[in-house]
Structure 1
Amino acid sequence: MRKAGVLLTTALLAGCGGSEQSRDRVLGRVDAALLTSGGTGADWPMTGYNYSEQRFSPLTQVNAGNVGKLGLAWFADMPDARGQEATPVVVDGRLYVTGPWSKVFAYDAASGQKLWEFDPGVDKAKGVQACCDVVNRGVAAWKGRVYVGTIDGRLIALDAGTGKQDWSVQTTDNSKPYTITGAPRVVKDMVIIGNGGAEFGVRGYVTAYDAATGTKKWRFYTVPNPSGAKDGEASDAAMAKVAPTWSKNGEWKTSGGGGTVWDSIVYDAELDQLYLGVGNGSPWNHGLRSEGQGDNLFLSSIVALKPDTGQYVWHYQETPGETWDFTATQPINLATLNIGGSPRKVLMQAPKNGFFYVVDRMNGKLINAGQFIPGVNWASGYDMKTGRPIENPAARFYKTGKPFLALPSAIAAHNWQPMAFNPNVGLAFIPAQIVGSAYLNPSSPLDAAKPLGFNVGQDLGNAMYPRDAATVKAAIAGATGRLVAWDPVANKARWTVDYPTPWNGGTMTTAGNLVFQGTALGEFRAYAADTGRQLFAYPVGTGVMAGAATYQVGGVQYVAVLAGRGGALPLSIGYAIGKARDVPNVPRLLVFKLGGTAKLPPSPQPDTAPVTLPTATGTPQQVAQGQALYGRYCQVCHGASAGGGGVLPNLQRSANLGNPDGWHAVLIDGALKDNGMVSFAKVLTPEQAQLIRLYVLDEAHWAQKNLAEAPTAGGKVPARTGVR
C-alpha cells in the first residue's frame, strides 16, 4: 500500500494532465445546478437523486396504471456474491454502479453494454475489519469524474469516460480498523467522505477534498480527542464545547470513542448547510465507554456544518448516552412541510432506534418523533420540550446488571437501506423491520478489547440463541419486515405492508404514484404510493437489499436495481432471516422497462440436503468454551449459533468439522486469507481453534435434530452436549 503522500502527489500530477477534454465530454454537465434540481428525471445524477435526497423522480411514463406491464430490459451479472448495496447513478445514458470490494462498473444505460470496470485492488484481509460485509453504496458524479470510497479507506477519482484513475488519496490511518462503505457526496467542488470502524475502535470524522486534485480542504471530528489536545481542524471549537459530555476516564480514551459517519452526508442547497448523520459509540457499552456518564456528543446525532469551512452550526442528538448501537447514520430526506399552518424546512430520518424524527433545519429543534415499528421498548417516547427520549430504566443494562431484551436491536428498526419521500402524497417510505436481541454486560476477560473481532463491551457469546428449539423457532418467526408509509406531519403511519422476513430492500418513489422495493425473498415490487396497493411483482431469483433508480433514455423510462444479499443481518444473525437463508444469492444488476422481454437464467439452488456429520467428541466443558470463543470472534460473520445466513459459508456444513488439521489451516495458518478469512492466531491458540470446531460440530448436530425438516443423513444423532 502506497503512502497517502505519494498517492496525493500522483493525484496532483494526474489532475493537471491532458484528460480534462475527455472528462468534459462525459458527465461534464453534472454540477451544482443539476444536483440541486435533479433535472427533468432523465438522469439519476446522485445516489439520492438530488441534494434533497428524497429518492423521488418526476418521471411518469411508468405509473400506477401501467406498472404491471414492466418487464426485464437487460441484466448484468456481478462478480462478487457479497452484499449489493449501491444505488446506480445515471447521467447522459451512462449508468455507474459499485459492488463489493469497492469495484466500479459503467454500462450503457439503454442496452446494458459494459463500458468499463475499475477494481481498486483492495487487500481481502481488510474484510475482517468491515463490521457488516465488504459493501459499497455507490459513486458520486461531478464535472467529468466519478468518485468512490474504498473499503481500505481510499477516496478515488475516475475519469467518467474511461474509468481510468485520475487521483487517489488515503483518507484514513491504515494501521487502524477504518473502512469506507458509504457513497461520497460532492458539494461546491469538494468531495465529502466519512468512514466506519466504531465496532473495532476508532474515532470518527468527515473530510472534504478538492474534487479536481484530491487536496484536503477541511476535516470535522465528531467526538473529542481522547488526548485532550486540539486537532488543528474545523471541529476544534465544537469539540471544546462537547468535551464535558464525556467522562474524564473510560474506554473511549483508548478506543477513540466512535462516532463514525459511515453513510448519511446530506447537503442543503437552500440553507447552504451540510448534515452529518453520526454513528454509535466505541465501545457500544456506555458504562465502559464513558463510565456511564454524559450524553457523549456527537454520538447518535445529526450535526449541521458550514460546507465551505466545516464549521459547526447546530446539532440534534437522537439517543443521548448511546449504548445500543443506535446510529443516526441512516438516510436523511430534506423537505418543506406544512406544519401547524406554516411551511417548515425540515429534515426527516428513521434511524436504528425505532423513532421517526422531523427536525427543523433552521435550528436543529425537534418537531416530531413517533414510533414507526411496534414494540419499541428502550424508550416510550420523547419529551417535546427538551427533545430527549423518555427512557425505560431497564434498558441501561450496565446499570441494572441484568440482560435487556431490546426492540429494536443493533440490527435496527431501519438500517442503511434507503428511505424515500414522495412530496406529492406527503409520505416517507421506510424499509423497516422488527428484530430483537439481548444486551449483556461483559462476563469474562474474553469480552475485553482484542486486536481482532468486535470490541463493543458486551458478552456476545451469551447473546446468541438459547439451545431450545421452541425459543429459536419463535425468534425466527418473530423477526419480520415491514414497509411503512409514514406521514411526517400527522406523525403516524398511513399504511403498511408486512413481510415474513426482515432485511428487505430500500425504497424509491416517483410522480407516477409508485413506490419500488425489493424483498429478501426474491421479488422486485411496486406499490401505489397513496394507498399501498401492490401493483407489480417480478421474481428476480435472489434477495434484494439495495434501493432502485429510474431514468429515461430515448424517450423510454427504465428502472434499475442491484440484487443480491449480504450485510449485517445475514452475516451476524443467521437464523433470524428465516426463509431468506434458502434464497439463492445471485449478484445482478437488473433493469426494467415497459414491455421488456429479457429473461433471467434459472437461479442455482443452495444445497440444503442434510450432511453426514462426524461424531461429536467434545465434552460439555469444551463445547461451552468453544461457544464463548465462537460468540466473541466468529458470529458477526458466520451467524449467531453458527447458523449461517446464506452469504458466507455455513460452518455447520463445513468439511473441516471432522478435519482438525484443515480447521487449523484456516483459523490459525490463514489458508483462506485471499478470500478474506484471515488467520486468527493473534487472538486464538491452536487449542482454542479446536474448541470452536467442537462447538460448531455440536451445534450442527443439535440443529439437525431440532430445526431441520429433513432427517439427518448418516445414522444416529448424538445427544446434545452444549450448555446454554
Structure 2
Amino acid sequence: MPYLILLFALLAESTITHASVSGERIIEADNEPGSWLTHGRNYAEDRMSPLTQINKDNIKDLGLAWYFDTGTTRGLEASPLVIDGVIYTTGSWSKVFANDARTGEELWSYDPEVPRAWGVNACCDVVNRGVAAWENSIFVGTIDGRLVSLNKETGAVEWDVLTIDKERPYTITGAPRVVNGKVLIGNGGAEYGVRGYLSGYDARTGDLSWRFFTVPGHPADEHESDVMRMAAETWTGNVYHQVGGGGTAWDSMAYDHEANILYFGVGNGSPWNRHIRSPGGGDNLFLSSIVAINPDNGEYIWHYQTTPADTWDYTATQHIILADLEIKGEMRKVLMQAPKNGFFYVIDRITGELLSAENYVPVTWASHIDMKTGRPVETENADHLAETKTTSPAQFGGHNWHPMAYNAGTGLVYIPAMLNQAPYNTDTNFEYLGGSNWHMGQMADTPEMDIITSIPPGLMSAIFKRMARGKLIAWDPVQQKEVWSVMHETMWNGGVLTTASGLVFQGTGDGRFIAYDAETGKHLWESPTVTGILAPPISYSLDGDQYIALMAGWGGAGPLAMKLPGSKSAGNGRLLVYKLGGEETLPPGRERPPMPVPPAQTGTEASIAEGSVLYHQHCVYCHGAALNSDAIIADLRYMSEGSHQAFQQIVRGGILSGIGMASFAERVTEEEADAIHDYVIYASHQKWDEDQATGWWKDLRDWSYEVIADVVSRFGLM
C-alpha cells in the first residue's frame, strides 16, 4: 500500500510539473499558494501571498538561498512568475529567463535582439516588468513594440507580432496579462508623441482580436467607435492629433472574472501641457483614466478620470487592486488605485461610482476631490500658463509604477509612495519636431534651470535629499487614512509584497531588502542587495520551503533623470531568492573608477549657456539633470579623453548606436553638439573642483550646503 501512495504522489508531481496555465487555475490561485501564476499573483492583483512559513518569529533566519546574474547593469523591474517549479522573469532589453526555482540553474533564455538604437525611444530606461503565461506558452512584450509567444518548456518562439507603427516612437515595458485566451498588451511613448491603445491578441495564433484606442484620432478620419466619438468631444485644436494625443496604457491591469470586466490605467497626454494639447479646454478623454472594458471584444463599459485635462504627467497607469470592502455597513466590490496625482481612490468596480478619495501624500495642485462631481478642485497653484508654478507631486508622482499590495488580514494597502515637487511652465514657442524628441510643452530655458545648472553638484544633492524622499505607507482604504509609515532617504524604491503571516517586504533604492510587521510597520529584518531595488518581491514554495524572490537592478525613470541621494548603482542585475536558513552571499559591487581630469574649458559663456538648454532638452533623461548621474548610462563627467575627442561622432555620427547611444544628427546640428560639449566640460569642472576639497574647508562647505538646502526646502525656493 505505501508503494501505491508513493506512486500516486509521483504521478501527481509529474502532472503538476507539466500542467498548463488556464483561467480557472489563476482564478483558483489560493488553491496552489506555492505558485505565482500571473503578474499580481491573482486576477485581483493584490500581491498577497497566502504562505506563512516565513513569519515574524523566524524572519531573523531568512537568508539568500541563491542568485542569478542577468548579465545587465540597467534597470530591472520584473515581477517573476513561478509555475511548476520554474521561475520566469525578464531583464533589460526585454530578455526572458527561465530558471529552476529550487537551485537557480538556467533552463533557457530568450533574447528578442532589440536594436539598441531603439533605446532612444524609451523614456524611462530599457526595462521590462515581466511575462504572462497561458496554456504552455510564455508571453513577453519587447521594448521595440513586439509581442512574442515562447514555448514554456524550451523558450522556442511560437509567434512574434508587431503591435505598433514603427514610424512612431512606441515602446512596450509592461507585463502582458492573459484573460479568456486573449493576450492583453498596451504600450508607451506619450512623452515623445504617440496615440495610445490597448490590444487583445489570440494566445494561440497571435492574431489581433480587438483594439481599444484611448484618445481620438484625426478629426477628418472616421471614428473607430461611438466611444471615440464621445471622447473626441472633449478635445480641441489640432495639436493633439499631430503629436498623437498620448494616453498610453503602459502598465496596470486587473480582471474581475465574475463580472468579466477588465480594468486598465491610461497615461498622460502628448504633449503634457493641456494649453498646447487642447487650447480650447476639455477633459481630454481618456487621459489619466481608469477604463473598464469587456476583455473578449474590447467593448467599453465605464471609465473614471482621475485627473481631467491633465497637465502634470499625472498618469493613472499605476497599480490597480480589486477587493471586497465593507463601506458604510455595505459590502462593496471595489477597485483601488493610488495614481501619480496624490489621491487614493476607492471606486465601485461594477458601476464606476467613486466611493471615496483622499490624498495619501502632500498635494498642492488640488484641494480635494468633490464627491458630488467626482472631480478634483484645482487650486491657484495648479495652472502654469502665465507663470512657473512649483507643484506637488512632481511628474514622478506620489506613487509611480512600483506595485503596492493589499493584505486582507490587516485590511491595509501598502503603498511605495514618494514625496516630491517640481516647477511647471508653458513653452509659448512649442513646436512638434517628430521622432524621438520629447514633447512636454515645457521650457528648458528658465530661471529655475539656470539655478540648477549653476550650483555645485554637492549642493544639488543636498537639496534633492530634502525635496524628494521615499515613504512606505500602510493605508486604510475604508477610513482613507494612513495607519503607519516608514521614510526612505531615496525617493525611488521597490514595489511591495505582503503575506498572510503578517509581513510586508520592500527593497530600497539604497540597496536593502527589508521586512516589516504588516500591522505596526516595525522593522523586522533586512539584507544588503549591493544595488538599488525597483522591482516588487514575490513568494512561492517548493518541497516544503517558502521562498521570497525579487529582481535587483538599479535604473528606471527616476535614477536616469537625476542622482538620487543614497542610491546604489554599483551592482550587476540579478534575481535574488531567499529562504529560511539561506547562507549564500553576494559578490561586492563594482567600484566607480576615479574621475579623469576634465579637458580645458574653451567654450564661451554664451555657448555654455546654450549647451545647458540643449542638454536639458535632449540629454537629461538618460544622463541626469545638470549631469548629476547615477552612471546607469554613462556619467558624462567621467568621459575619457578619447570620448571627448570623438564627441561629434558619438552624438551625431552614431558610432555607439550598437550599445544604445543612437545618433542625434536629426535633432542637433554640429554647432549645437559643440555647445552641449562645452556645457559637459563646464559641469565636469564643477564636480572636479568640488571633489578636490579636503579637511576643514570640505567640512565647512558641506555644512553650508546642508544649511542652504534646508532653507530652500523649508521656503519652497525651487
Q: Same fold (TM over 0.5)?
A: yes
Residue 354 (structure 1) aligned with residue 303 (structure 2): no
1:420: which partner in 2?
Answer: 405
The residue number in structure 1 matching 2:26 is 35
Q: Decide which of 539, 544, 547 is 2:533's aligned counterpart.
A: 544
Note the residue ranges of structure 1 that are not aligned, 5 or more in a row.
1-22, 712-723
Establish whether residue 633 from structure 1 lines up as the match of residue 624 from structure 2.
Answer: no
Alignment correspondent of 2:384: 397
Match of 1:604 among 587, 590, 601: 590
Whether 1:521 and 2:513 are equivalent positions in the alignment is: no
Distance 1:309 1:348 in 2: 24
User: Is residue 33–residue 49 contact of structure 2 (8 Å, CA) maintained in 1?
Assistant: yes
Deviations 1:460-499 (A, max 9, x none): 3536425234566323332111000010001011000001
Q: Who is 1:6 aligned against? A: none
AA paired with 1:355? F
1:585 deviation in Å? Answer: 3.4
Do the aligned partners of 2:313 and 2:395 also contact (CA within 8 Å) in 1? yes
8 Å CA contact retained: 1:668, 1:681: yes
**Cα distance change, pair 231–468 in 1 and its aligned pair in 2 (3 A):** same
Q: Secondary structure at the match of 1:65?
A: coil
Determine whether 1:48 maps to 2:40. Answer: yes
Distance 1:624 1:35, change over 3 A: same
Check whether the contact 1:25–1:144 (CA below 8 A) recurs between aligned residues. no
Displacement of 1:587: 0.5
Is 1:210 the equivalent of 2:210? no
1:685 Cα deviation after fit = 1.2
| Alignment size in residue pairs | 677
| Partner AA of 1:404 in structure 2 | K
SS, match of residue 393 in structure 1: coil
- In the TM superposition, what is the alpha-carbon distance from 1:443 to its structure 2 partner? 5.5
Report matched runs for 1:583-598 at 5 Å: 583-598=569-584
Taking the aligned partners of 1:381 and 1:427, their CA distance within structure 2 comes to 22
Q: 1:212 to 1:369 in 2, by over 3 A?
A: same
C-alpha distance after superposition, 1:619-647 (max 9, x if no partner): 11111110111011000111111111231
Shift of 1:394: 2.8
RMSD: 1.9
Displacement of 1:709: 6.2
Structure 1 residue aligned with 2:296, among 285, 308, 313? 308
Q: 2:177 aligned to 182, 185, 190, which one?
A: 185
Instruction: Work out whether residues 24 and 144 of structure 1, in 8 Å CA contact, stay in contact via their aligned partners in 2.
Output: no
Match of 1:150 in 2: 142
Aligned partner of 2:473 among 473, 479, 484: 484
1 CA distance for matches of 2:479 and 2:504?
Answer: 20
TM-score by length of 2: 0.92
Contact 1:583 1:606 survives alignment (8 Å): no
Deviation at 1:275, TM superposition (A): 0.6
**1:93-242 → structure 2 map (5 Å cutoff):** 93-230=85-222, 232=224, 236-242=225-231
Whole-angstrom CA distance in 1 between matches of 2:134 and 2:483: 37
**In the alignment, which of 677, 682, 694 is matched to residue 693 of structure 1?**
677
Determine the C-alpha separation between the residues in 2 that align with 1:621 and 1:353.
38
Q: Cα offset for 1:419? A: 0.8
Indicate if the aligned counterparts of 2:554 and 2:569 stay in contact, CA closer than 8 A.
no
Match of 1:261 in 2: 249
Deviation at 1:545, TM superposition (A): 0.6
- Other-structure match for 1:563: 552
Distance change (3 Å), C-alpha of 1:82 and 1:435:
same
Q: What CA distance in whole angstroms lies between the structure 2 residues aligned with 1:208 and 1:509?
A: 30
Distance in 1, matches of 2:212 and 2:17, equals: 32
Is the alpha carbon distance of 1:343 and 1:397 closer, same or farther for their aligned partners in structure 2, counting shifts above 3 Å? same
**Is the CA contact 2:334–2:348 (under 8 Å) kept in the aligned structure 1?**
yes
Aligned-pair CA distance for 1:142? 0.8
What CA deviation, in whole Å up to 9, does each residue of 1:427-459 have, x standing for no partner? 1111111122111211656x6534333111111
- 2:375 alignment counterpart: 388
Select the residue among 516, 519, 529 that pairs with 1:530.
519
Of 266, 278, 283, 1:278 maps to 266
Q: Which amino acid aligns with 1:407?
A: S
| Structure 2 gap segments, 5+ residues each | 1-13, 696-717
Cα deviation, 1:387-427, whole Å, max 9, x if unaligned, reads 110111332112xx111111111111111111111111011
Which of 48-57 and 451-460 deviates more?
451-460
> Alignment partner for residue 357 of structure 2, among 349, 355, 369?
369
The one of 320, 341, 348 equivalent to 2:308 is 320
Q: Which amino acid aligns with 1:203?
A: R
AA at the equivalent of 1:541: V
User: For 1:566-586, what per-residue CA distance to the aligned partner results, in whole angstroms no more than 9, with x for missing partners?
Assistant: 0001111x13x1121x54132
3-state secondary structure, aligned to 1:126: helix
Q: Is the 8 A contact 1:477 1:578 kept in 2?
A: no
Q: C-alpha displacement at 1:112, in angstroms?
A: 0.8
Equivalents in 1 of 2:51, 2:165: separation in Å?
43
Cα deviation for residue 27 of structure 1 reads 5.7
Cα–Cα, structure 1 residues 93 and 521, in superposed 2: closer, same or farther, change >3 Å?
A: same
Q: Distance in 2 between matches of 1:322 and 1:695?
A: 33
Q: Whole-Å Cα distance in 2 between the matches of residues 611 and 368 of structure 1? A: 55
Q: Distance in 1 between matches of 2:158 and 2:528?
A: 40
Q: CA deviation at 1:242?
A: 1.6
Q: What is the rounded CA distance, in whole Å, between the counterparts of 1:95 and 1:48 in structure 2?
A: 15
* SS of the residue 1:394 aligns to: coil
CA distance in 2, matches of 1:708, 1:329: 45
How far off its partner does 1:265 sit? Answer: 1.8
Give 1:665's aligned residue.
649
Q: Which amino acid aligns with 1:389?
A: P
What is the CA–CA distance in structure 2 between the aligned matches of 1:590 and 1:600, rounded to whole Å? 9
8 Å CA contact 1:284–1:324 kept in 2: the answer is yes
CA–CA distance in structure 2, aligned partners of residues 538 and 697 of structure 1:
39
Shift of 1:271: 1.6
Deviation digits for residues 648-704 of structure 1, max 9, x if unmatched? 111112125x86541011001111000110111101111110100101111222234
Task: Classify the secondary structure of the residue corresponding to 1:267.
Answer: strand
TM-score normalised by length of structure 1: 0.91
Structure 2 Cα separation of the partners of residues 476 and 588 of structure 1 = 27
Q: Per the alignment, do residues 51 and 403 of structure 1 end up closer, same or farther by CA in structure 2, a change over 3 Å counting? A: same
Aligned: 1:553 with 2:516: no
Aligned partners of 1:122 and 1:152 also within 8 Å: yes
Deviates more, 1:641-650 or 1:698-707: 698-707
Shift of 1:373: 1.4
Note the C-alpha offset of 1:506.
Answer: 0.3
CA contact (8 A) 2:569 2:632 kept: no
Alpha carbons 1:664, 1:690 under 8 Å: kept: yes
Which position in structure 1 is the counterpart of 2:423?
A: 438
| Residues 129, 174 of structure 2: 8 Å contact kept | yes
Paired residues of 2:437 and 2:667 also in contact (CA < 8 A): no
Instruction: Within 5 Å, give how 1:85-96 maps onto structure 2.
Output: 85-96=77-88
8 A contact 1:62–1:594 mirrored in 2: yes
Equivalent-residue separation in structure 1 for 2:345 and 2:692 (angstroms)? 42
CA gap 1:570/1:709 in 2 versus in 1, 3 angstroms: farther
1:47 Cα deviation from its structure 2 partner: 1.0
Aligned-pair identity in percent equals 46
* Cα distance in 1 between the residues matched to 2:261 and 2:41: 18
- What is the alpha-carbon distance in structure 2 between the residues aligned to residue 467 and residue 368 of structure 1? 44
